[in-house]
A and B are shown apart, each in its own frame.
Chain A
Amino acid sequence: MGITLPILILALPLFMFLLLGIGGVKMSRKTAGVLGILGMGTTMTLAYIVAFTYFFSGDAAFISAEGVRQQLQVFDVTWLAFTPKLVVKLGFLLDPIAAMMLVVITTISFMVHLYSWGYMEHEGGFQRYYAFLNLFSFSMLGLVVATNIFQMYIFWELVGVSSFLLIGFFYRLPSAVSASKKAFIVTRFADLGFLLGILTLSYFTETFNFIDMTSNPMNVLAETGGATFLGCSVLTWAMVLIFTGGMGKSAMLPLHIWLPDAMEGPTPVSALIHAATMVVAGVYLVARMFPVYCVVDAAMNFITVVGAITAFYAAVVACTQIDIKRVLAFSTISQIAFMMVSLGVARTYAMPDVHYSGLGYMASMFHLFTHAMFKALLFLGAGALIHAVHSNDYTKMGGLRKYMPVTHWTFLIGCLAIAGIPPFSGFFSKDEMLAAMFGNSWLWGAWMTMVAGLTAFYMFRLYYLIFWWEENPEYKHHRPHDAPWQMSLPLILLAAVSVVAGFIPFGGLVTWDGKPYHIHLEVPVAITSIIVALAAIGLATVMYRKKNPLPTKFRNAMPGLWRAAHHRFYWDEIYLFITHKIIFGIICNAIAWFDRHVIDATMDAFAKVTQKVSFSIRGFQSGNVQSYVLWYFFGALALAAITWICLL
Chain B
Amino acid sequence: MFGNILIWFVIIPVLMMAGLGLCRNSGMKAIRAVMVVGSTALLALAIWLCVDFLSLRAAGNDAEMLYTGSWMWYSPLNIHLAVGVDGISVLMLMLSAIIVFAGTFASWKISPLPKNFFLWFALLSTGVFGFFISIDMFTMFMFYEVALIPMYLLIGVWGTGRKEYSAMKLTLMLMGGSAFLMLGLLGIYWHSAPAGGELTWNILEIARNNAVDPSWQGMLFIFTFVGFGVLGAMFPFHTWSPDGHACAPTAVSMLHAGVLMKLGGYGCFRIAIYLLPQAANELAWIFIILTGISVVYGAFSACVQTDLKYINAYSSVSHCGMVLFALLMLNQTAMTGAIMQMLSHGLMTALFFALIGMIYGRTHTRDIRQMGGLMQIMPYLGVCYMIAGFASLGLPGLSGFVAEMTIFVGAWENGDFFHRAFVVAATCSIVITAVYILRVVGKLLLGPVHDDHHRQLTDAGWFERFSTVTLIVSIAGIGCFPNWISETIQQSFQPIVAAIQNAL
A interface, CB within 8 angstroms of B: 78-83, 86, 88, 150, 154-155, 157-158, 161, 168, 171-174, 177-178, 181, 184-185, 188-189, 192, 195-196, 199-200, 202-203, 583-584, 587-589, 591-592, 595, 599-600, 602-604, 607
Contacts and interface: CB of A to CB of B under 8 A. Distances in A.
A595 B239 contact: yes
A110 B270 CA distance: 54
A584 B304 contact: yes
Contact of B239 (A157, A192, A591, A603): A603
A184 B487 CA distance: 32
A161 B333 contact: no
Interface string B338-380: 0000000000000000000000000000000000010110000
Contact of A185 (B305, B396, B435, B445): B435
Given A158-B395, A161-B395, A81 B483 contact: yes
Q: Which 9 A-B pairs have the closest CB atoms?
A: A154-B396, A600-B239, A171-B446, A588-B303, A588-B304, A199-B412, A177-B446, A82-B409, A591-B300
B430 A188 contact: yes
A73 B446 CA distance: 42
B413 A181 contact: no
Contact of A168 (B332, B410, B428, B446): B446
A230 to B, nearest CB: 11
Contacts of A80: 402, 405-406, 482-483, 486
Interface of B: 169, 172-173, 236, 239-240, 297, 300-301, 303-305, 332-333, 373, 375-376, 390, 393-397, 401-402, 405-406, 408-410, 412-413, 415, 424, 427-428, 430-431, 434-435, 438-439, 442, 445-448, 482-483, 486-487, 490
A588 B397 CA distance: 30
B434 A184 contact: yes
A592 B304 contact: yes
A199 B408 contact: yes
A251 to B, nearest CB: 18
A378 to B, nearest CB: 29
A192 B172 contact: no
A202 B409 contact: yes
Nearest to B434: A188
Contacts, number: 118
Query: Which of A88, A158, A591 is most buried by chain B, counting CB atoms within 10 A of its CB?
Result: A591
8 contacts: A80-B406, A83-B409, A188-B393, A192-B430, A195-B430, A591-B300, A591-B301, A599-B239
Given A157-B401, A171-B375, A82 B395 contact: no
A174 B482 contact: no
Given A81-B487, A607-B169, 9 more contacts: A82-B406, A83-B332, A171-B447, A177-B442, A177-B447, A199-B409, A591-B301, A592-B304, A604-B169
Given A157-B396, A584-B303, A185 B239 contact: no
A592 B305 contact: yes
B41 to A, nearest CB: 30
Nearest to A82: B409
Most buried by A among B305, B375, B396, B448: B396
The listed residue with most B CB atoms (<10 A of its CB), out of A80, A172, A177, A188, is A80
B376 A172 contact: yes
B431 A83 contact: no
Given A79-B482, A595-B301, A203 B413 contact: yes
Contacts of A604: 169
A81 B431 contact: no
B300 A196 contact: no
Contacts of A188: 393, 430-431, 434
A82 B333 contact: yes
A88 B394 CA distance: 16
Contacts of A154: 396, 401
B95 to A, nearest CB: 19
A615 to B, nearest CB: 17
Given A154-B396, A185-B434, A203-B415, A587 B408 contact: no
A604 B412 CA distance: 38
A171 B333 CA distance: 40
A257 to B, nearest CB: 15
B297 A591 contact: yes
A588 B300 contact: yes
Nearest to A203: B412
A172 B332 CA distance: 47
A571 B193 CA distance: 67
Contacts of A174: 447-448
A584 B401 CA distance: 25
Contacts of A589: 304
A222 B448 CA distance: 57
Contacts of B409: 82-83, 86, 199, 202
A80 to B, nearest CB: 5
A184 B437 CA distance: 11
A607 B243 CA distance: 15
A137 B376 CA distance: 26
A592 B199 CA distance: 47
A189 B432 CA distance: 9
Contact of A192 (B300, B410, B428): B428
A592 to B, nearest CB: 5
Contacts of A583: 303
B427 A196 contact: yes
Contact of B483 (A78, A150, A171): A78
A588 B314 CA distance: 12
B236 A599 contact: yes
Contacts of B297: 591, 595
Given A584-B304, A592-B301, A599-B236, A192 B173 contact: no
A294 B396 CA distance: 30
B438 A184 contact: yes
Contacts of A600: 239
Interface centre among B304, B305, B408 (most CB of A within 10 A): B304
A301 to B, nearest CB: 25
Nearest to A78: B483
A587 B397 contact: no
Nearest to A199: B412
Contacts of B240: 603
Nearest to A87: B483
Nearest to A157: B396
A198 to B, nearest CB: 9
B410 A82 contact: yes
B229 to A, nearest CB: 15
Nearest to B240: A603
A188 to B, nearest CB: 5
A92 B404 CA distance: 25
B394 to A, nearest CB: 8
Contacts of B401: 154, 157
B373 A172 contact: yes
Contacts of A150: 405
B295 to A, nearest CB: 13
A413 to B, nearest CB: 38
Contacts of B445: 171
Contacts of B239: 595, 599-600, 603
Contacts of B424: 196
B331 to A, nearest CB: 9
A157 B438 CA distance: 15
A599 B303 CA distance: 18
B396 A603 contact: no
